[in-house]
Amino acid sequence: MADGEQDGHRPHRQNLQGLLQMAIEAGTESDSTPQMEPMSEERRQWLQQAMNSAFSGQADEVKMIKECLQELSNETNSGEEEDGKERALELLADLCDNLDNASDFCKLGGMDLLLSRYVNCPEAELRWRCADLIGICSQNVPFVQEMALRSGAVKILLQLLDLDPNDQVRIKALFAISCLVREQEEGLTDFLKQDGFSVLMRAMQSDVQKLKIKSAFLLQNLLMSHPEHKGTLCSMGMVTQLVSLLHTDHSPFHEHVLGALCNLVTDFPQAVSECQALELGFEEFLKERCLLLDKKEEFQEELEYCNRLLRICFQNTPEDSSMDR
């Protein structure tokens, strides 16, 4: 019998995953065994080693975060030092996928450093990595989101999205914005104060396909989760602008534009009325698009959006208030 299997158990890896597996097995055994048996000396030693290894690993990661922050705090005087900063931001992006590391990064002053120095640095490579790291840290971590918002992150990121000359920077800024405004009331409030919907519309009018798609998707999501802002969007002329975007060469971007329009018109007569304006020719467009997409499996969701818009806007058919998305 192999070492580690003498007491009837498979060996476990000496890390947190191994600890979890051991806990699961221990729980299963306790359900089926009337009396608890004392832990063997071999398993006791393994548990101690695994705990030491796991918590040592956490300490090592905090140490790496501190070293990266030290590198980023140094002034850049040469290409070699710039390469070091790129590597530091890349490593931090990997480390901060862990929620605890993301919090530690911010507690150590990382978020303030990114927003004060790196979002507007001359090197595009550092700017996009900075925006990406802000987004990674902010995903699903309220503490980090609150810290970023207090530092004015939404305003700064919207400026990057709207004005930066580098496409990758704009794409990553949009990612970070999404992480700070979706399911985050304070972030959405900042977004509205900074006229974020207008910035999204300008992004959808860009020549960068990925940016167009992600902007439309964020608009679609915000309309779904915050229907109370439909009036604001209509007052901005959003219906007319979205329909005009559909009169470009057909692309995957159109699916998300149509999805946003579906969310906008659902249970909102003002938007329905604007879609019906004769000068838009929207009904004819939708019928032609349905013919184009019919029996093309890869476009079935876009086809459903077209049919839904026809029913809501031009056939006076009551619709469920929720989107199938």
What pLDDT, on the 0 to 100 scale, is given for residue 73?
93
Domain range holding 127?
A: 83-194
Q: Using an 8 Å Cβ cutoff, are 142 and 185 in contact?
A: no
Residue 155 and residue 89 in one domain: yes
**Residue-wise burial string across 127-165, b where 16 or more C-beta atoms lie within 10 A, e elsewhere:** bbbbbbbbbbbbbebeebbebbbebebbebbbebbbebe
User: pLDDT averaged over consecutive 10-residue blocks of the chain (325 residues)?
Assistant: 43 46 50 54 61 56 94 77 91 94 96 95 96 95 94 97 98 98 94 97 96 96 95 96 95 96 96 97 97 92 97 76 43
Residue 188 and residue 240 in one domain: no
Tell me if the pTM is above 0.75.
yes
Domain count, the chain: 2
Helices (H), 182-208: 185-193, 196-204
In a domain, 22, yes or no: no
In a domain, 140, yes or no: yes
In a domain, 297, yes or no: yes
What pLDDT, on the 0 to 100 scale, is given for residue 317?
60
What CATH number corresponds to the domain at position 155? 1.25.10.10
What pLDDT, on the 0 to 100 scale, is given for residue 47?
56
Residue 188 and residue 238 in one domain: no
In a domain, 101, yes or no: yes
Question: Tokens standing for 98?
Answer: 């862990």
In a domain, 117, yes or no: yes
What pLDDT, on the 0 to 100 scale, is given for residue 78?
62
Q: Among residues 144, 167, 194, which one ends one of the domains?
A: 194
In a domain, 264, yes or no: yes
What pLDDT, on the 0 to 100 scale, is given for residue 24?
47
Residue 95 and residue 180 in one domain: yes
